[in-house]
Chain A
Amino acid sequence: MFSRLLAAAGLVRSARYAAVEEQARKADVRAGKLNETVDALRADVREWKTKAGDAEKRARELEREAARHEQRAEKIRADLTAQLETERGRLAEFQAMRQRLSGAERDVAVARDHLMAIEVKLDILEGAANVLDGRTRTVLTAQTKRASGAPA
């Protein structure tokens, strides 16, 4: 009843007033904290925006670099392909050369064998010639001695 009368007069009890005042103070404190939070969030946002900008810039740089590398890789691939073709050509040449060398080695071996056989044959001929020479000399010496009347 008393409260209603006070209210009718636009007044409140002191206790009520103190409570409301306390609530208002707390609300102020909360508002202050919220302001601080908002400020911090704004700072974060700014920071993230900066980072995002940097990242975007870096991404663009990386894209450009990737493109450069791709170009370079393409060039290397082309070079390697050309080199591979050259090496294949060289390998084919080498194999052909090796075959020729192998054939030449066989020819040399055969020639060496023939040479050895010829040397042996020459040796036989030389031996035979020496033997015949010796026999002929013996006979001729004996004949000469007989012809000259000398004792054999």
Chain B
Amino acid sequence: MHRPEDAASPFLSIVLTGRNDSYGRDFKERFFRTIRFNQAELSARGVAHEFVFVEWAPTPGVPSLHELTLDAVPGLRSGAVRWYIADRQYQDALSLNPRLQYLEYVAKNVGVRRSHGRFVLATNCDIYLGRAVLDAVQAMTLRPRAVYRAPRHDLKLAVDPSNIDWQVLEDVRNLDGPPRRLKPPYLAGGTGDFLLLDRETFHELRGFNEVYRSVRAGLDRNFVVKALSAGLPLVDIGGPVYHVNHVGTFRVASRQSAHANAASTSAGERWNANAIVYQNPESWGLGDAPETPLGDGLTRIEFSWDAVPPLVNLRGILLPAQRSQRSSDANGGADSDLEVRGDANGPTRDTAP
């Protein structure tokens, strides 16, 4: 377990994952613009922060995103980013679904596990932090043992992404549809774009589900269900984050083709992320993987079978804490609230007979 000294800990770690594979076209440009914006805003507000980037299973023969990023955003060279390159073999060794080419939440776990900040934000590479988020981290009003959520506001495809500033972000005419609101009980809606809580609790929860590695969608919500099941409250941080739509955006692609994002299995289509929780092994986030520091904040996570979690860990699939009767009656149990009880070590019901 990586436990940095408190004195060296920034207030906020921002965990990102990606690789140089042109996901959703112009991935690199979108990423550079976003990280440049967020870096500038956080620095301007004096927020002690770090970016923890996990370059997951990079494509051979393609330049690493690391150097490209530092060249594109020189402000990151001053130690504001720690970069991990996870060996490609981990993707194959961990995968339970060959159609899934990117185990995004395992990759995020790698970053969460290695974060030094008092608070850890798991987000995506093309998410602009909003004012309310920046205000909250600047004022350091965040409390531990609470999961903070922010709605995602999507900006239209037509918005010029090369010219993003507050005026563009906050102009409601640029929004692609009415502003999203977080909906109880899970405060769902772009969940993977903003999950913030203190590092200690994040580690107690052992990150995102890496027992069920057959699906891509729903793992972010599944984390929220686990957090609720462990008795943690969900808190709306008070304002949105922003995302500029692009070809390949889930919502855009969904509009263009109902199956555009069907990278999941048939089981994934019936997967109900509200119905189960999980208990990752102690070695979650490739905790046992050997690391080779390469300098300049770059670390290579070497492949080792010792670091690979079991292919099958059925005891790691659990039921959430008991659903409350009231919500169950009101919602037919389909999307009900959870009684808040138990602790962060796990839910209170076992699926084992």
* Complex interface: chain B residues within 8 A of A132 (CB): 311
Report yes or no: A127 in contact with B96, Cβ–Cβ below 8 A. Answer: yes
Report yes or no: A124 in contact with B319, Cβ–Cβ below 8 A. Answer: no
The distance in angstroms between the C-alpha atoms of A102 and B276, with both chains bound, is 22
Contacts A123-B214, A124-B214; A109 near B265 (Cβ below 8 A): no
Select from chain A the residue with minimum beta-carbon distance to B93.
A131
* Complex interface: chain B residues within 8 A of A128 (CB): 96, 311-312
Report yes or no: B212 in contact with A113, Cβ–Cβ below 8 A. Answer: no
Select from chain B the residue with minimum beta-carbon distance to A110.
B319
Contacts A112-B333, A117-B319, A128-B96; A105 near B328 (Cβ below 8 A): yes
* Complex interface: chain A residues within 8 A of B311 (CB): 128, 131-132
> Does A114 lie at the interface of the complex (its beta carbon under 8 Å from any beta carbon of B)?
yes
* Complex interface: chain B residues within 8 A of A120 (CB): 212, 267, 271, 276, 317
The distance in angstroms between the C-alpha atoms of A125 and B97, with both chains bound, is 11
Q: Is the interface of A mostly helix, strand, loop or mixed?
A: helix
Question: How far, in Å, is B332 (CB) from chain A's closest CB?
Answer: 8
Q: How many B residues are at the interface, by size bracket?
A: 20 to 34
> Does B68 lie at the interface of the complex (its beta carbon under 8 Å from any beta carbon of A)?
no
> Does A106 lie at the interface of the complex (its beta carbon under 8 Å from any beta carbon of B)?
yes
Report yes or no: A127 in contact with B213, Cβ–Cβ below 8 A. Answer: yes
Question: How far, in Å, is B122 (CB) from chain A's closest CB?
Answer: 22
The distance in angstroms between the C-alpha atoms of A122 and B266, with both chains bound, is 12
> Does B4 lie at the interface of the complex (its beta carbon under 8 Å from any beta carbon of A)?
no
> Does A119 lie at the interface of the complex (its beta carbon under 8 Å from any beta carbon of B)?
yes
Report yes or no: B312 in contact with A109, Cβ–Cβ below 8 A. Answer: no
Report yes or no: B351 in contact with A114, Cβ–Cβ below 8 A. Answer: yes
The distance in angstroms between the C-alpha atoms of A119 and B269, with both chains bound, is 12
Report yes or no: A127 in contact with B351, Cβ–Cβ below 8 A. Answer: no
> Does A116 lie at the interface of the complex (its beta carbon under 8 Å from any beta carbon of B)?
yes
Report yes or no: B275 in contact with A117, Cβ–Cβ below 8 A. Answer: yes
Select from chain A the residue with minimum beta-carbon distance to B97.
A127
A126-142 at interface with B (beta carbon < 8 Å): 126-128, 130-132, 134
> Does A100 lie at the interface of the complex (its beta carbon under 8 Å from any beta carbon of B)?
no
Report yes or no: A124 in contact with B96, Cβ–Cβ below 8 A. Answer: yes
> Does B38 lie at the interface of the complex (its beta carbon under 8 Å from any beta carbon of A)?
no
* Complex interface: chain B residues within 8 A of A126 (CB): 267
Report yes or no: A114 in contact with B319, Cβ–Cβ below 8 A. Answer: yes
Report yes or no: B270 in contact with A130, Cβ–Cβ below 8 A. Answer: no
Contacts A109-B323, A130-B98, A131-B95; A124 near B312 (Cβ below 8 A): yes
Report yes or no: A109 in contact with B276, Cβ–Cβ below 8 A. Answer: no
* A 87-115 to B, binary, CB cutoff 8 A, 1 in contact else 0: 00000000000000010011011001110
* Complex interface: chain A residues within 8 A of B320 (CB): 113
Select from chain B the residue with minimum beta-carbon distance to A109.
B333
Q: Footprint of B on A, CB under 8 Å?
A: 102, 105-106, 108-109, 112-114, 116-128, 130-132, 134
Pick 26 A–B contacts, CB within 8 A, sort by A.
Answer: A102-B325, A102-B329, A105-B333, A109-B328, A112-B275, A113-B276, A113-B320, A114-B351, A116-B272, A116-B275, A117-B318, A117-B319, A117-B351, A118-B351, A119-B270, A120-B212, A120-B267, A120-B317, A121-B314, A121-B351, A122-B267, A123-B265, A124-B211, A124-B213, A124-B314, A127-B97
Q: Footprint of A on B, CB under 8 Å?
A: 95-98, 211-214, 265, 267, 270-272, 275-276, 311-314, 317-320, 323, 325, 328-329, 333, 351
List 4 additional A-B contacts (Cβ < 8 Å) besides A105-B329, A109-B328: A109-B323, A113-B319, A124-B96, A127-B213
Query: Which 3 residue pairs across A and B have the least CB separation, nearest first?
Result: A127-B96, A116-B275, A123-B267
